Chain A
Amino acid sequence: MLNNSTNTPLIITGAAGWLGRALCSHVALNAERLDISQLIALVRDSEEQVLVQSSLPKDNKLDLRIITGDVTNTSDIDRLFASSPSAFDLVHTAGIIHPKKIAELFAVNETATKNVMQRALHSGARRVVHISSNSPFGNNPHTHDTFRADEPFNPYLAYGASKMGGEIAVQETVSQGLNAVIVRPPWFYGPFQPARQTTFFSMVKSGKFPVFGDGTQRRSMVFIDNLVDGVCRARAWEGEPGRGWWIADTQAYRVSEIVETVGRALTDEGHIVKKNRLRLPHLLGQVAETADGFIQRTGRYVQQLHVLGEMNKTIACDISSATVDLGYVPAVDLYEGMRRSIRWCAQQGIEL
């Protein structure tokens, strides 16, 4: 059941991030339909402010307020909520996945989430949507398994632990009266993507995307516009607080299928794509995971190692709860989503 009669201001934390910008863009374009009267974007600095502004349509008519501050700074959070209207919705996208130091993960994903939720509770938030991840739940036990809507925590390394901490903070605040729900996107892709995703396209194009074993491990994916749609539906859902949903494509894809589809999308967008030949033994994935874990225990973080260590895992989720509760149906499939992403890169002048 959806509730569209709110005409409420929307606060977005992490507004200059990948999802944050996509959300700002979508809200600006659909403010009337979404019944959003004002967009309040939390950014860290003037550089991020420019990023948010550039994500909005040129003829944007939505009232945009930009607040500069950091979610890890409690006085900044206080300032964000102090300057907010008495009734508002909040989408808490602020998070960090590839930090310089491990401590940043917990500072942003756990402690800051806890602080944001507490302030939101005491500032009269109407509805909070917290953006979590698959990482608090780890990997599926085997390639055919699919995560159901409700799964036991099994965090994958420090990032998973920090996002789990975030979810627990949300649930604790819900038990104190906050009207919050959780959206869990797995691997997402699409416009506003950071540089690391460009590398993904480049690797597929050059035939050097690392496929472990026979590539039958499965990954759930979601195009950013589908994810934004899911977030907006979660915001409008009238149901018991504390609920969480996977927002992804209906079926998980085999890694080999992902590489093939991206290759096809690149080809159809005019790129020359080499046949993918980089097959790696599973053992290498396990070695990378072990090394990643070891390095993380020393407080450091190596992005490439982390990504490699996760590539031989199955992370597949079942979106049926989102379909039943929110009416969420992914509108853009993998092939079309990848083509749009490639076009977006071209529009931005990003060379693949």
Chain B
Amino acid sequence: MNSVRQIWDDANESKMSCEVLIIGSGAGGSPTAALLAEAGFDVLVVEEGRWVEQGTVVPFSLDQMEQQYRGGGVTVALGLPSIAYTEGRCAGGGTEVNSGLYRRPPTEVVERWRDRWGVSDLDPDELMKTANEVETDIHVTHLPGPASVPSQLLRQGADALGWKHDESPRWMTYPDGNPRHGQRQSMTRTYLPRAAKAGARILTQCRVNTINISHAKATSADVSLANGQAGTISFKFVFVCGGAIQTPAILQRSGLRKNIGQTLAIHPTVKLSARFADAINVPDDVPVHQVKEFAPDLSFGGSASHAGLIALSLLDQWSDFKGAIEDWRNMAVYYAAITSEGRGRVMSVPGLVDPVVTYRLTARDRELLRSGLSRLSLLMLEAGATEVYPSFRGAPIIRGRKDLALAQKRFSVNKASVMTVHLCSTVPFGENRQLCGAGSYGLVHETKNVYVNDASLLPDAPGVNPQASVMAIAVRNARHFIAQENPHA
């Protein structure tokens, strides 16, 4: 290790040590690292992916998927239908690659978590105060000017139907005041540099295979380094912050299985592309408006829409839809996301490097996805779309209201491209031992020093972009840990 550089990937020591090991550098791990380092703990952050500077890859491109996503962006929860999901795998995790939209968890959701899962001292007002601090740290703000045309079309369609909508703020700065020139305030721009400044070391391309636990106490982690060598990191405490898929997988590989990886929650999403009379496509950004008329059950928003992604959205009924691709500049992709009652599993299988993920949609989820895609199609017609192309096999081209009946009749979730970018709830926190894998501050039940502090803790899907929930809870838990284990006490 180069003692001067605090962010490095060329570890040549097979044995390292620290006071607090933080596994993962996303929305959970980075704030945890910053707060603990600032409190005086000796922190080592290990990240499986690379450090990729912003601006060196095109947002939402295949290149970005290759460099910053797990499995090149192709990861799947098996089931009927299988559900494609994405996981960031880079320094900063999902915050480097997502749409940057920010939503506080609704108060009733926090109350539900507190009451049903028995999360101690989870006060919605206190959590919102913490969220407020996070919002300052990552510069949560609205656009300094008009939204992009695809975003405005979403708003117009909702207005025509009398449906509620709003502009989701983003954690962005706009140095020149141009809403098109936002700079995302992801973890590599905010909490990770802060952690490094406070003395934390950040080791990238380091994969944690297992945590060695004896008599409920973890002592070290076996890792694989960038050079392919194995290593061991010893520690006093460990925070597992690898996200809702990797965190339970690491815990399971380490022998911890009770209520871990059994209750994966997601926001399943179906899509369509809408074609307009004029050029509206914005290849490198996503709409900021979201339609919340049917929230929390159902939300509508816009997706990344460069030509490659338009082609992808037309793929399921390519024989009828293919002509539209030549008009991609007049098109944009939109989604309908639901709050699912179904649940999935993350299973670490001996001999396999990656966990097997499954997900089962309920009958209610399926009906809601059908209804969601149809309502979204209606909204696009009201927004002025000349043609709507729903992403499912056998879909008709929707040119008018009569076609919506045909689309609903033909729709089946099993024929649709269902995907999600929001994954959580694989190690739910709380004192209800029947339901929870970790305690009210993330300490894994039946361990003395293994903490979880990421999206895995959220007891169920919040119905909104979960990053705000993840960060506020991570900060809350980190502060509780500092109060309990203050190194200067």
Contacts and interface: CB of A to CB of B under 8 A. Distances in A.
Contact of B374 (A148, A154, A171): A154
Given A154-B404, A321-B162, A142 B374 contact: no
Interface stretch (B106-114, B165-173, B301-309, B365-373): B365-373
Contacts of A161: 405
A70 B407 CA distance: 34
B378 A144 contact: no
A86 to B, nearest CB: 33
A138 interface: yes
A149 B161 CA distance: 8
Nearest to B411: A154
Contacts of A164: 402, 405
A2 interface: no
A278 interface: no
Nearest to A142: B364
Contacts of B327: none
A231 B173 CA distance: 54
A171 B370 CA distance: 25
Given A150-B378, A152-B377, A152-B378, A145 B294 contact: yes
A151 interface: yes
Nearest to B367: A141
* Dominant secondary structure of chain A at its interface with chain B: loop
Contacts of A171: 401
Interface string A143-164: 0110011111111000001001
A141 B297 CA distance: 10
A217 B306 CA distance: 42
A148 B367 contact: no
B222 interface: no
Contacts of B293: 148
Contacts of A168: 401-402
Given A152-B374, A152-B375, A141 B368 contact: yes
Contacts of B297: 142, 144-145
B369 to A, nearest CB: 8
B364 A138 contact: no
Contact of A153 (B367, B371, B402): B402
Interface in A144-194: 144-145, 148-155, 161, 164, 168, 171
A138 B378 contact: no
B317 interface: no
A347 to B, nearest CB: 42
Contacts of B382: 150
Interface residues of A, number: 20
A150 B162 contact: yes
A145 B162 contact: no
Nearest to B409: A154
Given A144-B297, A148-B163, A154 B408 contact: yes
Interface string B452-473: 0000000000000000000000
Given A141-B368, A145-B294, A151 B378 contact: yes
Interface string B267-304: 00000000000000000000000000110010000000
Contacts of B378: 150-152
Contacts of A145: 294, 297, 368, 371
A138 B162 contact: no
B408 A152 contact: yes
Contacts of A153: 401-402, 404-405, 408
A150 B162 CA distance: 9
Contacts of A140: 371
A142 B162 contact: no
Interface string A265-306: 000000000000000000000000000000000000000000
A150 B161 contact: yes
A138 B371 CA distance: 10
Given A144-B297, A145-B294, A321-B162, A152 B404 contact: yes
Contacts of B374: 152, 154
Residue of A142, A152, A153, A168 with most partner-chain B CB within 10 A: A152
A168 B364 CA distance: 29
A154 B410 CA distance: 11
Nearest 10 CB-CB pairs, A to B?
A: A141-B371, A152-B404, A153-B405, A141-B367, A154-B408, A152-B374, A152-B378, A141-B368, A142-B364, A150-B161
Interface of B: 161-163, 293-294, 297, 364, 367-368, 370-372, 374-375, 377-378, 382, 401-402, 404-405, 407-409
23 contacts: A141-B370, A142-B297, A142-B364, A145-B297, A149-B162, A150-B378, A151-B375, A151-B378, A152-B378, A152-B401, A152-B407, A152-B408, A154-B371, A154-B374, A154-B404, A154-B405, A154-B408, A154-B409, A155-B405, A164-B402, A164-B405, A168-B401, A168-B402
Given A141-B364, A154-B409, 8 more contacts: A136-B405, A141-B367, A150-B378, A153-B405, A153-B408, A154-B371, A164-B402, A164-B405
